[in-house]
Structure 1
């Protein structure tokens, strides 16, 4: 076996290497080590907080073999402990490129994440920890990568949620399923073209980001940024029904920025949150409205298994295209309970009121919802389901003398597939159905859809 002469501090021998032929002394001297012994010595040097010696040992190994993945990982660890973050990242990246099997890839990804996190680049570190979890050679090492990911995420001032989904639907334009609408209680018109329900596929993508401005033991202040876009592809039957319409005519985009403060009152554990946002929406590619939102929410721990929350909201909508501006106010309350078997039951009730200078646009809406999540996987799927019932009332309507009254019922079933995990993301599929009954035929609707997307597993 090839051996390498290197000066090594005697502590390594005393730690159990048995590399020296004589008892350790305070002086340093040349020691002849095999490759395996040198790797062992470098690993022990890192463990015993001797990064300079670990760096020298790893460099000696790399002088012998520049493609020594284990030496590159140890060099990265040692350089990181010495504050040489650029060197640490270069070594880890080279180890990653050379690695082919899961075990060395896991080590390289973990080393890169540690180097980036120590350098303050926590968002990139989180991505490398996802890589580490993907290539973890055992459940225990995967759990470590996930634990490190959560640790870094907690300390990262940036947090972001990316979303992407494809959703075939029987009613992409929220069109009417009625055949006709009656005007002034006696003049009947057929519902055709873009006013009728059109089938197709919704394609949506979004970004929700937060940046922590300041934080103390009892409060956190954050900047908010939200971006959402969704467009549609019409089915052949929809194109035949409305030949002058394209899916992009119903495209919707939204951009908003805001501030949030989350804090606990003295002597309490449950937090409250206050938010303020302003933004703009586009419809069909053209500006649709500007808006300003204010919100406040308070959470309560009723017991070890039960939590409640209450929220208030206010919004001003500066509508374009000649539509009057609107002011909205909302109230919501909710209850979340964890059952003895781990299942979760959520109940909610919300109320919303809109007022404007045009009475037929004013309305009141009351919504009740219930959701149930099953803790134990069913055929390797995590299942949850929900129901909602909503009543919406307009005192005035352009179509009838007694106003407009809508009743909407909806249901959904969501399946998440944790065993199809890829880089910490798992696919989800949601089946949903909704029906709206109205005394005005134009607003009678039915929709069935399938929503396919991804969500983070940790």
Structure 2
């Protein structure tokens, strides 16, 4: 009981303005902080609050006193005041470890009051000042918990990609005359249609709102938006003076509703969705789209799962109604986790594009193999992908006899610098190379790009 008696004496002395904490060694700031902590442990939040207030009156920059005040207010149920006290502590000049404590306190205080999205933001601030690996793991674990409880999910990505072909132009200088009598056997490709170098600045955002789930269904509403701005290099401007980077800008927005369903006791998960979108190209309206998707995922074993996906899409072109198209496709996927926990995905697909425009009408077969390294190597995470697509344009006006066939090979390798983080985000570098070999030289393309962006570490 001596702690309580000491607390009472201290509080009375401070309230009377006697300055005991300054004049007596047993009432030093450090001992007063210890006393406030002892009172909190004993359940005397009111006494701890008076001690903390007295300490703050003596020194408004006392970080520990502000945090003690926040905890005392929290214990009294004064949650809004507790959060304000913790924010005041966070803004004070303090060590990284102290700022971590304030941010972590705030994150959980906000989550307890239902402000999960705001709590996730403060967890990211806590991650920025986490003093050790154990603290970072605690932040990641709590972030997953907050995210699972939060009906709203928000993600954003930004990247810059230098490329030798920002306009998807041709690497050939000419192509064979398809039979136009007044043109030469080889038709020269215009400079603006050739591959132009430069870089792309990309920004994308995805907002998801999950409705209250049932035992077997989960429904979500989605809003997606993306924009790509293209900037030409000085070499590209010299090659094609009439071309502008804005000619190749792209943007899109889409709204969707998705649902997942799994019957009680079943292993298969069914997913389906309906999407409506609008696209822009070169600063003008390009198309409206309506898309229906469906997927069935079924685990084969503890480490392997099989998926079947399908989609149907209607594109209403706003530049020319003759370019309206209906796309249908199906894909088969196999996901496998190796013994070292690396993940390997194999996807095979088929797609058909039906349209009145013979230059756009085509069918395609695709194959892709992806690998993701489970454990980082020297703080680096690795991903790689290899893709192949064969596309047939049977009625291409560029080759009315045999049609046009494209064979596209792509390779991309990504490295994530996981030891470098800012608010839980790590820089990610992706190197991609793509080669499209076409029977028509106008569509013969090579593209190499280096993309620098950021990815959430949790």
Q: TM-score, normalised by structure 1?
A: 0.89
Q: Which secondary structure does the structure 1 equivalent of 2:215 belong to?
A: coil
Q: Which secondary structure does the structure 2 equivalent of 1:106 belong to?
A: helix
1:354-375 residue CA offsets vs partner (Å, 9 max, x unmatched)? 1122344211111101112233
Q: Which residue, out of 158, 161, 183, partners 2:152?
A: 158
Gaps of 5+ in 1: 1-12, 23-27
Counterpart position of 2:331: 332
Aligned mates of 1:99, 1:271 — CA distance in 2: 51
- For residue 389 of structure 1, report the CA deviation from its aligned partner: 0.8
Aligned mates of 2:205, 2:286 — CA distance in 1: 20
Gaps of 5+ in 2: 12-25
- For residue 56 of structure 1, report the CA deviation from its aligned partner: 4.2
Query: For 1:40-59, what aligned pairs fall within 5 Å after superposition?
Result: 40-44=34-38, 46=40, 51-59=45-53
- For residue 85 of structure 1, report the CA deviation from its aligned partner: 3.0
Q: Indicate whether 1:261 and 2:259 are aligned.
A: yes
Q: Which moved more, 1:192-201 or 1:179-188?
A: 179-188
Counterpart position of 2:420: 420
Q: Indicate whether 1:402 and 2:386 are aligned.
A: no
Aligned mates of 2:221, 2:381 — CA distance in 1: 33
- Root-mean-square deviation over aligned CA pairs: 2.2
Q: Which secondary structure does the structure 2 equivalent of 1:361 belong to?
A: coil
Q: Which secondary structure does the structure 2 equivalent of 1:120 belong to?
A: coil
- For residue 121 of structure 1, report the CA deviation from its aligned partner: 2.1
Counterpart position of 1:220: 218
1:180-238 residue CA offsets vs partner (Å, 9 max, x unmatched)? 12232574211122211111101111101101122233322111010100011111111
Contact 1:165–1:203 (CA under 8 A) maintained in structure 2: yes
Cα 1:393–1:218 change in 2 (3 A) is: same
Contact 1:20–1:31 (CA under 8 A) maintained in structure 2: no
Q: Which moved more, 1:286-295 or 1:183-192?
A: 183-192
Q: Which moved more, 1:211-220 or 1:308-317?
A: 211-220
Cα 1:45–1:304 change in 2 (3 A) is: farther
Counterpart position of 2:174: 180
Q: Indicate whether 1:446 and 2:446 are aligned.
A: yes
Cα 1:46–1:455 change in 2 (3 A) is: farther
1:237-258 residue CA offsets vs partner (Å, 9 max, x unmatched)? 1111110111111000001111
Q: Which residue, out of 143, 156, 159, partners 2:137?
A: 143
Q: Which secondary structure does the structure 2 equivalent of 1:147 belong to?
A: helix
Query: For 1:376-391, what aligned pairs fall within 5 Å after superposition?
Result: 376-391=375-390
Aligned mates of 1:279, 1:220 — CA distance in 2: 23
Counterpart position of 1:4: none
- For residue 47 of structure 1, report the CA deviation from its aligned partner: 5.3
Aligned mates of 2:43, 2:356 — CA distance in 1: 72
Cα 1:45–1:29 change in 2 (3 A) is: closer
Query: For 1:33-432, what aligned pairs fall within 5 Å after superposition?
Result: 34=27, 35-44=29-38, 46=40, 51-185=45-179, 187-322=185-320, 323-400=322-399, 401-432=401-432
1:300-329 residue CA offsets vs partner (Å, 9 max, x unmatched)? 221111122221111110101114211111
1:91-132 residue CA offsets vs partner (Å, 9 max, x unmatched)? 111101113211110111112212222332222211111111
Counterpart position of 1:6: none
- For residue 283 of structure 1, report the CA deviation from its aligned partner: 0.2
Aligned mates of 1:20, 1:43 — CA distance in 2: 12
Contact 1:226–1:255 (CA under 8 A) maintained in structure 2: yes
Contact 2:4–2:39 (CA under 8 A) maintained in structure 1: no
Q: Which secondary structure does the structure 1 equivalent of 2:167 belong to?
A: coil
Counterpart position of 1:433: 433
Counterpart position of 1:8: none
Q: TM-score, normalised by structure 2?
A: 0.89
Aligned mates of 1:73, 1:160 — CA distance in 2: 30
Contact 2:3–2:35 (CA under 8 A) maintained in structure 1: no
